[in-house]
Amino acid sequence: MAIAVYPGSFDPVTLGHLDLIQRACRMFDRVIVAVSNNPSKKHVFSVDERIEMLENATHGLPVAEVDTFSGLLVDYLKMKKATIVIRGMRVVSDLDYEFQMASMNRRLYSKVETVFLMPDDQYTYLASSMVREVARMGSPLEAFVPPFVAKKLRLKFKIKR
């Protein structure tokens, strides 16, 4: 059974994330969307809120499940008996960081393989940080995130619409 882990902060989950999750679900027997729990990072949404949004977003994908992890990704992979890491590759500038992470993960856990997936062209520019900024400014969000995430962002930033 091929178990893949798609790790990230998902703060918030975007349509680009969902595109990659759907693609991974067609490729692997089980896809664990793993929300990172890093207390040293400032997140807009709590881990529980991010998990709830992802569970809602992946509801119709039977091979997808949502979980959380803290610490080293390779330790989580070993615990889940997973050997595949899914990473999104939007633009060339992502390559340097992602290549370093993939190399380090393989050095720490020789069984791990990183699979880079390109999102649909319409999502290549999309990043959670940009979505948060657009939300803070009160702009429409539905082109970037599912409607329930747009609603949560408007509530979080106290934007009336």
Contact of 112 with 32, CB cutoff 8 Å: no
Catalytic residue of the set 23, 43, 128, 152: 128
Verify whether residue 90 is a known catalytic residue.
yes
Catalytic residue of the set 9, 17, 23, 152: 17
- What is the C-alpha separation between 8 and 61, in angstroms, rounded? 18
CB atoms closer than 10 angstroms to residue 159: 15
Contact of 40 with 7, CB cutoff 8 Å: no
Catalytic residue of the set 78, 90, 106, 156: 90
Verify whether residue 41 is a known catalytic residue.
yes
With vertex at residue 10, the alpha carbon angle to CA 58 and CA 6, rounded to the nearest 5 degrees, is 65
User: Which two tokens mark 47?
Assistant: 């881990």
Verify whether residue 80 is a known catalytic residue.
no
Sheet holding 64-69, edge to edge: 64-69, 30-36, 3-8, 84-88, 113-117
User: Which two tokens mark 64?
Assistant: 């997808």
Q: What amino acid is encoded at 28 in this protein? A: F
Helix (H, G, I), strand (E, B) or coil at 3: strand
Catalytic residue of the set 26, 40, 41, 160: 41
User: What are the catalytic residues?
Assistant: 17, 41, 90, 128
